[in-house]
Amino acid sequence: MSVSTVPTYATTRASFHAVAEHVLAAVLHSATGRIGLRATPRGFGTPPFMVEGTDCQVRVDGIELVVKRGTSERRSLLETVGQAASLVGIEPGAPASVYPPATSVDPDRPLAIDPLAAVEIHSWFQKTSVALGRLARRHVDLEPSAAQLWPEHFDLAITMAGVNYGGSPGDADHLSPYAYVGPWDLNGLEGAFWNEPFGASRTSEQTASVDGMYEFFREGCVLTTPGSRPAVTNGARTGQCDDRAQPAQGAP
Dump pLDDT digits (tens) for 35-64.
999 999 999 999 999 999 999 999 999 999
The CA distance from 12 to 121, in Å, is 9
Per-residue pLDDT of the chain (252 residues; tens, 9 = 90+): 466 667 899 999 999 999 999 999 999 999 999 999 999 999 999 999 999 999 999 999 999 999 999 999 999 999 999 999 999 999 999 999 999 999 999 999 999 999 999 999 999 999 999 999 999 999 999 999 999 999 999 999 999 999 999 999 999 999 999 999 999 999 999 999 999 999 999 999 999 999 999 999 999 999 997 654 444 333 333 345 655 433 333 333
Quote the CA–CA distance of 54 and 119 in Å, as a whole number: 31
CB burial string 187-210: b at 16+ within 10 A, e below: eeeeeebbeeeebbbbebeebeeb
Q: What does the pLDDT look like over 132-159, one tens digit per residue?
A: 999 999 999 999 999 999 999 999 999 9
Task: Note the pLDDT of residue 6.
Answer: 77
For the chain, what's the residue count? 252
- What is the pLDDT, as a whole number, of residue 249? 33
> Which pLDDT value is given to residue 17?
98
Instruction: Give me the pLDDT at residue 116, please.
Output: 95
pLDDT at residue 225, rounded to an integer: 75
Instruction: Evaluate whether 125 touches 205 at the Cβ level (below 8 Å).
Output: no
pLDDT of amino acid 3: 66
SS3 letters for the chain? CCHHHCHHHHHHHHHHHHHHHHHHHHHHHHHHCCCCEEEECCEEECCCEEECCEEEEEEEECCEEEEEECCEEEEEECCEHHHHHHHHCCCCCCCCCCCCCCCCCCCCCECCCCHHHHHHHHHHHHHHHHHHHHHHHHCHHHCCCCCEEECCCCEEEEEECCEEEEEECCECCECCCEEEEEECCCCCCCCCCCCECCEEEEECCCCCCHHHHHHHHHHHHHHHCCCCCCEEECCEEECCCCCCCCCCCCCC
Residues 6+ positions from 112 with CB-CB distance below 8 Å: 8, 11, 12, 14, 15
Q: Is 244 left (phi over 0), alpha (psi -120 to 50) or beta?
A: alpha
